[in-house]
Amino acid sequence: KIFAYTKNDNGLEINLERETDEGAVYIHTSRPGVSQLQGPQHEKRIDAKYLDVSNTERAYRLESYRSKGTVSSSSSTQLRTYFVRQCSFVNPTPTKEQESDIRETSDKSFLEKATENTLEIYSDVMKTALARTGPVIEMFEVEGSRERRLVIAYKQQTTQSFFSAISDLYHYYDLYSTRKSRSTHFLNRLGSEYTSLVNILDSSNSNHQDVLSKMKKRLRTDTFTRDYILEIIKTYPELVKLLYINFAMIHYVNPAVNSLTPTLSYQRLRTDTVLTDEELYDKIRRTTSNSHELMVFESFLIFNKHVLKTNFYQPTKVALSFRMDPSFLPEIEYPTKLFGMFLVIGSEFRGFHLRFRDVARGGIRIIRSRNREAYSINLRSLFDENYALAATQQRKNKDIPEGGSKGTILLDVNQQDKALVAFEKYVDAILDLLILGETPGIKERIVDLYKKPEILFFGPDEGTADYMDWASAHARERGASFWKAFTTGKSQSLGGIPHDTYGMTTRSVHQYVLGIYRKLGLKEENVAKLQTGGPDGDLGSNEIKISKDKTCGIVDGSGVLYDSEGIDRTELARLAENRLMISNFDISKLSPKGFRVLVDEVNVKLPSGEIIDDGLSFRNNFHLNPMVKTEVFVPCGGRPESVDLQNVGRLLDADNHPRFKYIVEGANLFFTQEARLRLERAGAVVFKDASANKGGVTSSSLEVQTIIERNAQLEFEALWREHQRTKTPRSILSDDLSLAIVKLNENLQQTSLWDNLALRKVVLEEAFPNMLLKQVGLETLMKRVPENYVRAIFGSYLASRFVYKYGTEPSQFAFFEFISPYSLKAQQ
């Protein structure tokens, strides 16, 4: 269509559009160097409909041109055209050797038009992009003109809205293009009223604690929604600019260090007004019109003050990463202080990495969302879930030198199939902050306010078990000296021991199950069990492999499998060996009472005659269903807080007796603490996650199966003995035990015991794995391993052995009695 109108300026507007699945043509009037905030927004549409979704089966190429002349003699407006076409490749399925040959991988029409010089430039950039995680950007001068040519290459589906965003960027610098071709976080604040209520209510009353927990969630999610925050931000663009300048003046590296000519960005920053923190806060206070608006903009200022380093100004970043000083977190919400906090934001995800000590260890978890509602819930609870997981990990790590950490990667609602891409960007963005940049134009030095070297240790968790090799290899490619230790659970070829292959976490969990049977005189083969987390997962598959019980129910991502007569163990073993979901179970091997209900099924009739309307809802709540009649429940998978004080009553019968007599929590945070205590009061034997599933992280630190089983047995015996003695719920004893070990460990590292070299050697000979002692020797280990790490091994070993033996309330002579055998041996 061509529209001519004469409202105020007698301007001529041209707007022609034609869209199909195979391509599109857009022609419209355009003022050079200006981003249109209203109107058709063709470039954003091209991104969304063609470029962002382009893949190997259906890819698109784009050409765009600007007219040299104007649309009329009385107008400065020019004509802009876009031509989008589906690619027709020379070789749609190139081999590994051919993928770097531009003549094999290009579109046929592109090859017909491209000059040899263009092919050479594109080929060099493409090869560099294949070898790099992030984008490649090259700039060439056009001889005899003021024009510059940008050539940008990035891997398919590793970014979004790039085409339109780069236009906005160069418009900001008053530039325009003549040709183009293409072959928040949540703000939470509880307030003083919540603090007052905490002081009034009884902390030992589980009902009071559950009310507080629910109130906290409501206060933190209902007060500020994402849309509300965005609306406030859009209202005050001048404040956003001032806050950005405040951020940039700290973290934008002074280019005079590496170049004689300051960049245009740096020159512009120097011309803008720079306010002090106090002046900026005063400006925010005077500009905003209510307390909510003030709080939103104050949070930006708090963010700026607590960023210790960032890759924001790295030329080749694939995601944004920020190393934060976590001291701004309110103690009432986060009582245990974090040591380190990373925020990572990519086009497919957002995530955190939290740790409680300088040297800390924990897994990286992928969080998926089945629909938009689930995503909103996951987004609101992301940081809290990460904090709770890291805190649990801190308690689990009591037997090893490292403290607890955890990483989370929440996939955006429309990016649920991009787990590997998100993980790679998450890792690379964090490495930007751990490795000193030494390559100008690619990885440059950053402003580091932390001013200390940092090393993080990543491990496998939900959705990332298969990615550990890549992360370790990528750290090596990036030049990280710590690449071998960077990830655990990697393959043997890279020096690791795969957790799932050897069932490291399961070995710890199962020792608690066997301990219950041993104490109560039960025969494993006769005990009926329910298991969440199926044969496709690490914990679930290994639980099937090493157990001998009568498994009656399994719940996994695909649905529910249940047979009160016991599920055929040979068929279960087949699924576990091949890591297949229960959707692959041969249902002919079920008894007449058995059934399988998959999540996408509706109106399924069970053998009892009951009709299941919705398979997904049935799966999500099956562990609460009274039809489940087993003695043991072992959660090996499932979302955190699947059982809380609101629904725990469904695990009790009419006489208030627990439907599951014995619960060993393999999955992290499956039960809330309030739910555990309610079940224990009703008579259930409950061993919580921080005690039961520490085998994986023990393996990550010490890489030995025997130590895993021994530590599990020691803690089980200590918890059983202390419960018999004090009648304190095991769920509380587990925390008390962990905290006692962690505190004693920190104290021991600072005592004169460490200075006694002979005593130190005696303890370390017990603490180090035998294989290392045989292969390397104690003296070599003490020289090679950093002293702070050896000190942590010394402290954690003595602390855990002492507390396991003497409990959390030892006599005043207990430690003397405990250390005496070590001292005598040291004197010999």
Cβ(584)–Cβ(575) below 8 Å: yes
DSSP state of 314: -
Q: What is the dihedral of CA 212, 216, 217, 221, to 10 degrees?
A: 160
Lookup: tokens for 377: 């819930």
Segment (H or E) for 802: helix 787-806
Burial class of 570 by CB neighbour count within 10 A (0 to 12, 13 to 18, 19+): exposed
Those residues with Cβ within 8 angstroms of residue 531's Cβ, 6 or more apart along the chain or in another chain: 540, 543, 544, 551, 553, 554, 555, 633, 634, 635, 636
Partner residues linked to 85 by β-bridges? 23, 61
Cβ(554)–Cβ(535) below 8 Å: yes
* Residue 295, SS3 per DSSP: helix
Lookup: tokens for 740: 């006692």
DSSP state of 185: P
Lookup: tokens for 53: 């979704």
Task: Let me know if 317 is a catalytic residue.
Answer: no
**Residue 141 burial (CB count, 10 A):** 10
* Residue 302, SS3 per DSSP: helix
DSSP secondary structure of 472-500: HHHHHHTT-TTHHHHBSS--GGGT---HH
Handedness of CA 257, 258, 260, 262 (dihedral sign): negative
Lookup: tokens for 627: 């039809």
Cβ(415)–Cβ(422) below 8 Å: yes
The residue whose two tokens read 């050079």 is 32
Cβ(670)–Cβ(644) below 8 Å: no
Cβ(153)–Cβ(136) below 8 Å: yes
CA 559 to chain centre: 25
* Residue 335, SS3 per DSSP: coil
Cβ(478)–Cβ(427) below 8 Å: no
Q: For the chain, how long is the longest CA-to-CA vector?
A: 103
Those residues with Cβ within 8 angstroms of residue 559's Cβ, 6 or more apart along the chain or in another chain: 582, 583, 596, 597, 598, 599, 601, 615, 618, 619
Those residues with Cβ within 8 angstroms of residue 496's Cβ, 6 or more apart along the chain or in another chain: 468, 472, 487, 488, 489, 490
- Burial pattern 217-241, b for ≥16 Cβ within 10 A else e, equals eebbbebbeeeebeebbeebeebee
Cβ(491)–Cβ(471) below 8 Å: no
The C-alpha atoms of residue 187 and residue 201 are separated, in whole angstroms, by 26
Handedness of CA 278, 282, 284, 290 (dihedral sign): positive
Please pick, among 396, 406, 529, 688, the residue that the annotation labels catalytic: 406
Residues annotated as catalytic (active site), given as ranges = 406
